[in-house]
Amino acid sequence: MNQTKKTIVLIHGLWMTPGSWDLFREFYQRQGYQVFAPAWPRLLSEVEAIRRDPSALAGLGITEVADHYEQFARTLDEPPILMGHSFGGLIVQILLDRGLGAAGVAIDSATPKGIWKLPFSAIKSVSPVLSNPWNYQHPVSLTFKQFKYAFANTMPESEARSAYQRNAIPGPGRPIFQVALANFNPWAATKVNYRNHQRSPLLLIAGANDHLVPSVQNKINYKKYARSNAITDYKEFPNRSHLIVAQEGWQEVAEYALSWAQNTLTGTSTRLRAAS
């Protein structure tokens, strides 16, 4: 490959804004990278405005989000390094499968179709959405208590509350239902071709104490790619919650992700398969 990429696209997750990437974005910019962190489609207002009226997000689904980022990626001068957190990680996997990106990093990624393991903490984390079928077409807010459990269970109370106040917004319910029901839908929006030999390299990063997407799901996600000749690697960080990109220790994650991408693209890396 022997390519050095200087463009990074950061894709945020559900219930979050692009501001959840601020630490990563500023860190990479200081190193001379061109960094973009576009918002999800329809996410056009500031945090407080979205909280007051999230109706624009009603019915927003995974395919619309993926199409939005595909269109953005195609406007860039070079194939970017794609990094996604949570549902953004799932979008990265979908975009790589579509042939986009020079490399992809999926951090605490929501699960594509084909992963059946569903730990209790994951069920509890998304229960505010799945408990009411009406939420399929409506945005859903998390209380601070729900956010703390799902996103910030290893973070101090004050740090978790600060993250909640800065970036937590109502999220469309539809993506949660799309993931939850994917294995029963042959046309699932979350489907990726695990045997795609042509896609760009992919790194899956997990937080060992993640409640929303437990690391066991990321490990299964990684193993699903075993029959692909494309590079797929896995890294797990101890004592990290779902909000791994913003909690203490975030720089270690940011450095690892970028080093992996550049070393893989330049062909200088020692393979990190099954690293933990």
Give the pLDDT score at 276.
36
Supply φ then ψ for residue 51, to 5 degrees.
Answer: -65, -40
d(CA 163, CA 113): 30
Q: What is the chain's alpha carbon radius of gyration, rounded to the nearest angstrom?
A: 17
Task: Please state the rounded mean pLDDT for residues 61-76.
Answer: 98
pLDDT at residue 265 is higher than 80: yes
Per-residue model confidence as pLDDT tens digits over 98-120: 999 999 999 999 999 999 999 99
Tell me which fold the domain 7-266 belongs to.
Rossmann fold (3.40.50)
Q: How many residues belong to the chain?
A: 276
Per-residue model confidence as pLDDT tens digits over 153-190: 999 999 999 999 999 999 999 999 999 999 999 999 99
Amino acid code (one letter) for 76 = L
Nearest to 2 by CA among 270, 240, 269, 275: 269
d(CA 52, CA 55): 9
pLDDT at residue 267 is higher than 90: no
Supply φ then ψ for residue 260, to 5 degrees.
Answer: -60, -45
Question: How much of the chain, in percent, has pLDDT values that exceed 90?
Answer: 93
Which is more confident, 26 or 1? 26
Give the pLDDT score at 5.
75
Per-residue model confidence as pLDDT tens digits over 210-247: 999 999 999 999 999 999 999 999 999 999 999 999 99
pLDDT at residue 273 is higher than 50: no
Task: Round the average pLDDT of the chain to a whole number and report it.
Answer: 95
> For residue 3, what are the CA distances in angstroms to 9, 79, 243?
17, 11, 30
Give the pLDDT score at 53.
97
Give the dihedral of Cα atoms 254, 229, 5, 272; nearest 10 deg.
Answer: 30
Report pTM. 0.95
